Amino acid sequence: MQNGGFRLIICATLAALAPLATGLATPAHAQQDARQLFRNVARQDAPAVAARAAYLVDTTTGTVRFSKRATQRLPVASLTKVMTAYVVLREAELDDVVTVNSSDVRHATANGATTAALRAGERLTVRDLLYGAMLPSGADATHALARVYGPGDSRFVAKMNAAARSLGLTGTRYGNPDGLPKPSPGYSTAQDQAKLTETALGDPVLLAIASTARYTVPASKVHRAHVWTNSNKLLGKSAGAVGLKTGYTRAAGYCLSFAADRDGHRIVGVILGESNADRRFQTAGRLLNWAGEQPTSDV
């Protein structure tokens, strides 16, 4: 922040506290006024966000750092797969083996979705399929997991919505396990997805998956070799980045749920409805840097 910005904060705070000297305001009133003035200055100094909605929170302190249409219900594309992974981890063992079938492969190709390049007949562990669903955002891997642990999409989606309710995601309704337009993508909010991101990263398995830049499955007698690269470009480029998920459909635009650990604080953010693929990462990086420059608690 430039020196002028610091002068503005100091002046605003002094102006709010000045009535104390004349007995015209109580300390509580003055503190509230100063706090509100500080928030207004911080908003003016925040990075520009072109996306339809965004939310940034310091989950260590519970302080909301940025909010733009954070409760507006929007499609979230493949951010949906975070809930899919969350549900699978409560239904399955990581070493369970799932056989990929033709419907899993066909589902991804017929919908023009990103894939983990799976083939019918391959047998992979749940652990491997979770990496395939989260890193390259494979709709084939997601479909295989939902098919087995629903069993079937409709039952699996019911479990997703039950989990959303239990987590207090009141603005969220899932329509399928992958966020694709058909049969229904469902909807969520930036605020709800931030809550889900915080919860997901509290699971050591999901934290490990989300923070992995590249994952290799060596060839075996029951499956081909696979190498999956994480689509989250913040990893390795933004200090402390630990996840979480990218997404895109025409209706949802470019989406991103992200998090970083900095100076003992975990900062979690969500960007929904961005029109430019790379700008979501640039915006996320700027928001994280800006949040790190702000005081760690209210005035």
Interval 42-85: pLDDT, tens: 455 899 999 999 999 999 999 999 999 999 999 999 999 999 99
User: Residue 119 domain-assigned?
Assistant: yes
Q: Average the pLDDT over each of 158-162, 180-184, 292-296 and give the range with the smallest value.
A: 292-296
Catalytic residue list: 78, 81, 137
Q: Confidence class of residue 297 from pLDDT cuts 50, 70 and 90?
A: low
What number is the average pLDDT over the span 278-286?
Answer: 98
62 and 39 part of one domain: no
Rounded Cα distance, 81 and 137, in Å: 8
pLDDT at 152: 97
Q: Has residue 3 got a pLDDT over 70?
A: no
Owning domain of residue 132: 46-293
pLDDT at 292: 83
Q: Has residue 16 got a pLDDT over 50?
A: no
User: Residue 298 domain-assigned?
Assistant: no
10 and 136 part of one domain: no
138 and 230 part of one domain: yes
60 and 39 part of one domain: no
Rounded to the nearest 10°, the torsion over CA 111, 76, 87, 195 is 170
User: Residue 299 domain-assigned?
Assistant: no
242 and 215 part of one domain: yes
What number is the average pLDDT over the span 287-295?
Answer: 87
**Chain mean pLDDT for the chain:** 88
Rounded Cα distance, 164 and 284, in Å: 25
Least Cα distance to 290 among 61, 52, 72, 58 occurs for 58
119 and 264 part of one domain: yes
What number is the average pLDDT over the span 195-217?
Answer: 98
pLDDT at 45: 87
What total of structural domains would you count in the chain?
2
User: Residue 72 domain-assigned?
Assistant: yes
HSE-CB for 148 with a 13 A CA cutoff: 22
Rounded Cα distance, 273 and 248, in Å: 9
172 and 227 part of one domain: yes
Q: Has residue 235 got a pLDDT over 90?
A: yes
66 and 207 part of one domain: yes
13 and 152 part of one domain: no
Helices marked H in 23-175 — which ranges? 27-45, 80-91, 102-110, 126-134, 139-149, 153-166
Percent of the chain exceeding pLDDT 90 equals 82
**What would the pLDDT profile of 116-152 be if each residue is shown by its tens digit?**
999 999 999 999 999 999 999 999 999 999 999 999 9
37 and 174 part of one domain: no
* Residue 297 or residue 71, greater confidence: 71
82 and 13 part of one domain: no
Rounded Cα distance, 163 and 90, in Å: 10
What CATH number should be reported for the domain holding residue 146?
3.40.710.10
121 and 229 part of one domain: yes
Q: Confidence class of residue 231 from pLDDT cuts 50, 70 and 90?
A: very high
